[in-house]
Structures are given as C-alpha cells and as structure tokens.
Amino acid sequence: MAYAFKCLADDNNRYLKSFRLFLERSSEHQCMLDFIHGVLPDILASIGGGRSSLKILGVGSGAGELDLQMLSQLQLKHPGLKVDNEVVEPSDEMLYNYKVLVSKTPNLEHVNFKWNKMTASEFENHWQEKNLTKKMDFIHMIQMLYYVADPHATVSFFRSLLNENGKLIIILVSDKSGWGKLWKMYKADLCKGDTSQCVTTGDIKSFLDADGIKYKNYLLPSQMDITECFREGDERGELLLDFLTEVVDFTRSAPPDLRAGVMDLLRHPDCSAEADGKIVFNNTLEVLVLDA
C-alpha cells in the first residue's frame, strides 16, 4: 500500500546532505571513475566526426566532479578541439559547487560552459519553444533518470539531439543490485511523487529492446556501507536510510511493520553482505551506451 510520506526529492536540503553521505559511504564515484578512465576513452574517441569543435551535454550533472573527469578524457582523445559543454541542473547549490570546481580546475581554457538551471523537462520545453536544432556529440545522464516523470520519453528526447556518431550514456543502478531487490519488494509502499524514482537499468533496457534500439552495457560493481543504519538513534544512519528509501525521516515516519520489513531486507543476503562487523549493500551500477 502507498503511505503519505514526504519524498526526499522534495526536501532539497536533506536530499543534498544524504546524497553527500551516500557518496562518502559508497564506492559510487570510484567505480564510475574506473569506467571513465578505462572504458570511456575509446567511446569518446569515436565521436566528433572530424568536426573542429565538440558539443557535450550533461543532464543532472550535480557538482560536476564526473563531468570534469570526462572532459579531461575527451581532451586526451581530441587534443586542441574546442568544447561547448552545456549543463542541465535544477539545483542552485549543485550548480554553484560545479562552478567553484571549474574555477579551481586547470586546463579548461578550451571549454565553454553553458549553465541551464532547469530540469530535464524544462530543458526539453525550452528546446522546443526556441526551435533549436543544434546537435550534440556526447550526452550523459548519470544517476538522474530517477527524478523524471517519464524516463522513456526523456531518453527518446535526448537521444534525438545526438549528432551522427554521437553517444548517449546513461548510468543507473542495476536491477541486479540491492536497490533492484529493495524496489522489487517495496516499490508500491515507498515514496511516490510525480517522478519515476524506482527505475533501474533493467527498466531502461526493456523499453530500448521493445523499441529495437541497440546499446552496449557495462556493469560497475559497487558497494555502500550501511552499518550505521542499524545503530539505533544514529543520525547518519537515519540520513542514509532516507537515501535508501527516498523517504524523509523514514525511521520515524514509516509504520513499524514496513520499517521492520525494509530493515530485514536491507541486511538480507539478496541486498547486502556482512563481514568484519560491517553490513555492505550491493550498489552495483550499470552503464548503457546508445548511438544516435
């Protein structure tokens, strides 16, 4: 059954705090960096079609840590090319942090940043109202499709912006991860706003397969230490639990039976492994790479 929870996505302050803690407690960014340094360079080498500048679009870029790493790999593959880097990001704080990071990062003179403080759907409306026809060489949507109302329509729109030889990469949690298991069991009970929230790469692959769209996929094994979630009254544990359930103050706002069921599943071998006194949640991610 659905409960009248407050969605974490609607509480910007708590969302940002819990996301930061999630990054500290997980290998989320490390496994993505391994991908960016190991696999992405060959993908980036294939874009551009010999043009003298490259157009990049980041959707839901957050504070830009991964974006700048990708831009640096891009420069290695296309030295000397100018880059137009557009950012679509609705959070003021994230955009501010991204700009600070840019100001502290050397060797970005060849990159022109364009900041769009808006959601993916606002960007789509803006694009259509202005009748824009610009094409992109590389678009990335990293851990953001949870926050759109219709992931299928969003992927279709952004893919339509690709230049020939362009690539779109999507990163989300895998349906094989602990998240996939948690959502399979509790999707209907946990927070439901007007966004899709519980989407995994399994859902995206289903509609890509149905539409006959080819893609390559890469699994990124990743873990998250959720031991604190099981310490009664631990503030950070409660914050992580909010991130896991997407519910504000899940510990106090969930009915006891739901809370007990979620806590049991979180430490069940389907979701987590226990070793050396730690409970380690399976945060496996998956990258999907789509052509134009």
Residue 120 found at the interface with ligand SAM (CB under 6 A): yes
CB of 51 to ligand SAM, least distance (A): 26
In the complex, least distance from residue 66 CB atom to ligand SAM, rounded to whole angstroms: 5
The span from the CA of 117 to the CA of 178, in Å, is: 32
CA–CA dist 240, 225 (Å, integer): 10
Q: Which CB sits closer to ligand SAM, 285 or 290?
A: 285
Residue reference for tokens 């003179």:
109
CB atoms within 10 A of CB 114: 11
Cα 28 to Cα 264: distance, rounded to the nearest angstrom: 23
Q: Please, what is the minimum distance in Å from the beta carbon of residue 277 to ligand SAM?
A: 28
Rule CB under 6 A: choose which of 8, 148, 198, 271 binds ligand SAM. 148
Rounded to whole angstroms, how far apart are CA atoms 258 and 23? 26
- Tokens encoding 240: 């992580």
- Output phi, psi for 175, to 5 deg: -65, -15
> How many chain residues bind ligand SAM (CB under 6 A)?
18
Query: Closest residue to ligand SAM, Cβ-based?
Result: 62
Residue 173-212 contact track with ligand SAM, rule CB under 6 A, x = bound: ----------------------------------------
In the complex, the smallest distance separating the C-beta of residue 101 from ligand SAM, rounded to whole angstroms, is 12
69-77, 143-151, 239-247, 270-278 -> range binding ligand SAM (CB under 6 A): 143-151
User: Judged by CB under 6 A, which stretch of 144-152, 221-229, 241-249, 281-289 contacts ligand SAM?
Assistant: 144-152
The pattern of x and - marking residues 79 through 118 that bind ligand SAM according to CB under 6 A reads ---------xxxx--x------------------------
Q: Which of 235, 237, 292 is nearest to 263 (CA)?
A: 237
243 contributes a contact to ligand SAM by CB under 6 A: no
Map the footprint of ligand SAM across residues 12-51, applying CB under 6 A: 19
Residue 59 found at the interface with ligand SAM (CB under 6 A): yes
The reply on whether position 143 binds ligand SAM by CB under 6 A is yes
Q: How far is the CB of 21 from ligand SAM (least distance, A)?
A: 12
Please state, in angstroms and rounded to a whole number, the distance separating the CA atoms of residues 267 and 110. 48
Task: Give min distance, CB of 148 to ligand SAM, in A.
Answer: 5
H-helix or E-strand containing 206? helix 201-210
Beta strands in 188-282, from DSSP E residues, in sequence order: 215-220, 223-225, 272-275, 278-282
Considering only residues 27, 61, 177, 201, which one is a binding residue for ligand SAM as defined by CB under 6 A?
A: 61
Q: Are 204 and 145 in contact (CB under 8 A)?
A: yes
Stretch that binds ligand SAM, among 56-64, 69-77, 233-241, 247-255 (CB under 6 A): 56-64
**Inter-axis angle of helices 92-104 and 12-25, nearest 10:** 50
The yes or no reply on residue 147 touching ligand SAM (CB under 6 A) is: yes
List the alpha helices (DSSP H) in 78-170: 92-104, 120-129, 151-160
CB 226 within 8 Å of CB 280: yes
Given a contact cutoff of 8 angstroms between Cβ atoms, the answer to whether 272 and 223 are in contact is: no
Cβ–Cβ under 8 Å, residues 224 and 283? yes
Interface with ligand SAM (CB under 6 A): 19, 59-62, 66, 88-91, 94, 119-120, 142-144, 147-148
